């Protein structure tokens, strides 16, 4: 996209720089390309972070820091806290372990669980790949190298147990851990099935670190000094304090289960955006008598509701999951209506998340730039490249789009959140 629509923002920034004593500046990849010389100059006076979806070549002598998108709370908080002093400038790092260069695969059919898990694991500096099914995990393990795999137990189609069995046919040494919300089966059960062990959901950081340390060579572990360990920020922004008064939500539980403020806010938005689609899948499974799919989807709802702190909804979903496992169709019949009613009530409870500025003050996008955006989206969708597609959608959001295109971009974003690549491909094709 061209620099034309961004001129007014840089004039405003220059006024801020001359009026106030700024300590940090966070800019996007596009903005750096447009005004790199000015940003590099500012990096000698303040901490500058460039959020980038791709590799960015900083100017000679630049003091800016690159943070790869999608970014998460842990590394950003460290950059803000450490400033120029600490190792955070060299990459993301969570207190206790620095695992840059370590490759992990996270497998889960529920997009919200993938987002939260990716945020937690990325906080240690690991390179994270995600898969939405057991078969996709097998294909990735055959094609790429991973140091460690975390795999959901219950998934539609091929579940985690079947998938790890297939992996063991060609790789008996790869450490694979089950992710499960039902830990009653115990360690021995998962080891007999081919896993190295299991982690309970929501993921506990201490248990995760103990697990990681079992498989990481000493030379790959870098433990920071005690003075370098930073406390995580746990303060909800002022304009979101209403969430504390929202019926059915425990913010404290949500912050604990999601891994921090940044992940929690993202999870709330993702939960809201996926209500309609997930509710329809549960209804269809119930109406068709597909108890296995029904059980898997209420299991996923149990986890996603717990992540945002909707503990009563999570408990109800858990009771229906247990009924599905026992084939207790009477309980399912008596309580599915209640589950759907309570689940869909969160569309109203969380509606304030969408009460945002409509973007009338944004510059209109040029026709050729919009076409470039569609072309870039088509390429990223064909390659199922989540980061690239998200980056293009984020850049488009900085402009005022024609109504039809704005609606299409919103639909594409919602599809991306649930990894609906086929739907995105179809929608892109219909607009070309």
- What CA–CA distance (Å, rounded) separates 19 from 15? 6
- What CA–CA distance (Å, rounded) separates 183 from 189? 10
Q: 3-class SS at 85?
A: coil
* 230-234, 241-245, 374-378, 400-404, range with the lowest pLDDT: 230-234
pLDDT-based confidence at residue 248 (cuts at 50, 70, 90): very high
Give yes or no for a contact between 98 and 224, defined as CB atoms under 8 angstroms apart: yes
pLDDT digits (tens, 9 = 90+) for 120-148: 777 677 888 989 899 999 999 999 999 99
Q: Which residues of 377-414 are buried (b: 16+ CB within 10 A; e: fewer)?
A: bbebbeeeebebbbbbbbbbebbebeeebbebbeebbb
Q: How many residues comprise the chain? A: 432
Structure tokens at 173: 């040494």
pLDDT at 380 over 60: yes
- Strand pairing category for 127-131 and 176-180: unpaired
| 218 Cβ contact partners less than 8 Å away, ≥ 6 residues apart | none
pLDDT at 212 over 60: yes
* Nearest Cα residue to 152 out of 222, 189, 84, 201: 201
- What CA–CA distance (Å, rounded) separates 4 from 319? 56
- What CA–CA distance (Å, rounded) separates 419 from 219? 36
* 100-109, 123-132, 224-233, range with the lowest pLDDT: 224-233
What is the pLDDT at residue 89?
34
Structure tokens at 121: 């694991």
Give yes or no for a contact between 178 and 160, defined as CB atoms under 8 angstroms apart: yes
Strand partners, 177: 150, 197
* Nearest Cα residue to 180 out of 161, 163, 165: 161
Per-residue pLDDT, averaged over 18-42, amounts to 74
Give yes or no for a contact between 74 and 123, defined as CB atoms under 8 angstroms apart: yes
What is the pLDDT at residue 419?
78
* 5-14, 38-47, 179-188, range with the lowest pLDDT: 5-14
DSSP 8-class letter at 46:
S
pLDDT at 105 over 80: yes
- Strand pairing category for 148-152 and 47-52: unpaired
More confident residue, 232 or 385: 385
Q: What is the mean pLDDT of the chain?
A: 80
pLDDT at 234 over 70: no
pLDDT digits (tens, 9 = 90+) for 330-359: 999 999 999 999 999 999 999 888 765 444
Give the number of other CB atoms < 10 A from CB of residue 73: 22
58 half-sphere exposure, CB direction, 13 A CA radius: 19
- Please provide the distance, in angstroms rounded to a whole number, between the alpha carbons at the two ends of the chain: 19
- Please name each of the domains of the chain with its CATH number: 4-69 (no CATH), 103-228 (3.40.50.2300), 367-431 (no CATH)
Q: What's the pTM?
A: 0.52
DSSP-assigned states of every residue in 233-266? P-PPPGGGGGGGG-TT--HHHHHHHHTSHHHHHH
Give yes or no for a contact between 117 and 263, defined as CB atoms under 8 angstroms apart: no
H/E/C letters for each residue in 143-154? HCCCCEEEEECC
Per-residue pLDDT, averaged over 38-55, amounts to 75
DSSP-assigned states of every residue in 301-317? HHHHHHHTT-HHHHHHH
Q: Which residues of 266-276 are buried (b: 16+ CB within 10 A; e: fewer)?
A: bbbebbbbbbe
Q: 3-class SS at 176?
A: strand
- What CA–CA distance (Å, rounded) separates 395 from 399? 8
Give yes or no for a contact between 131 and 140, defined as CB atoms under 8 angstroms apart: yes
CA angle 193, 199, 204 (to 5 degrees): 175
């Amino acid at each position: 996209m061209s620099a034309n629509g961004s001129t007014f923002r840089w004039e405003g920034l220059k006024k801020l720089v001359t009026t106030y004593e700024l300590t940090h500046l966070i800019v996007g990849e596009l903005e750096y390309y447009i005004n790199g010389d000015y940003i590099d100059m500012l990096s000698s006076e303040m901490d500058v972070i460039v959020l980038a979806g791709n590799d960015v070549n900083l100017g000679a002598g630049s003091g800016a820091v690159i943070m790869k998108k999608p970014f998460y709370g842990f590394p950003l908080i460290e950059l803000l806290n450490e400033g120029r002093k600490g190792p955070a400038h060299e990459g993301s790092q969570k207190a206790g372990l620095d695992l840059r260069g370590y490759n992990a695969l996270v497998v889960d059919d529920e997009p919200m669980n993938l987002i939260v898990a990716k945020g937690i694991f990325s906080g240690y500096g690991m390179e994270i790949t995600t898969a939405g099914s057991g078969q996709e995990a097998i294909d990735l393990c055959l094609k790429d190298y991973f140091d460690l795999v975390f795999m959901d137990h219950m998934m539609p189609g091929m579940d985690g147990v079947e998938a790890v069995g297939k992996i063991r046919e060609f790789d008996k040494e790869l450490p694979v851990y089950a992710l499960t919300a039902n830990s009653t089966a115990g360690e021995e059960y998962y080891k007999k099935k081919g896993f190295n062990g299991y982690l309970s959901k929501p993921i506990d950081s201490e248990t995760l670190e103990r697990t990681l340390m079992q498989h990481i060579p000493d030379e790959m572990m870098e433990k920071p000094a005690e003075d370098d360990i930073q406390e995580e920020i746990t303060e909800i922004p002022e304009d979101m304090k209403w969430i504390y008064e929202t019926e059915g939500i425990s913010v404290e539980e949500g912050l604990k289960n999601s891994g921090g403020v940044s992940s929690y806010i993202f999870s709330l938005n993702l939960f809201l955006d996926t209500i309609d689609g997930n509710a329809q899948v549960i209804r269809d499974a119930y109406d068709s008598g597909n108890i296995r799919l029904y059980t898997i989807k209420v299991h996923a709802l149990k986890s996603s509701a717990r992540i945002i702190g909707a503990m009563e909804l999570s408990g109800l979903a858990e009771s229906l999951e247990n009924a599905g496992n026992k084939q207790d169709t009477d309980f399912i019949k008596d309580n599915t209506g209640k589950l759907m009613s309570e689940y869909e009530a969160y569309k109203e409870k969380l509606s304030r998340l969408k009460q945002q500025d409509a973007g009338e003050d944004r510059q209109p996008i040029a026709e050729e730039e919009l076409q470039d955006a569609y072309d870039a989206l088509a390429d990223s969708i064909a390659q199922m490249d989540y980061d690239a597609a998200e980056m293009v959608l984020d850049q488009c959001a900085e402009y005022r789009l024609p109504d039809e295109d704005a609606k299409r971009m919103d639909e594409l974003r919602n599809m991306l959140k649930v990894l609906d690549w086929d739907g995105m491909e179809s929608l892109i094709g219909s607009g070309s």
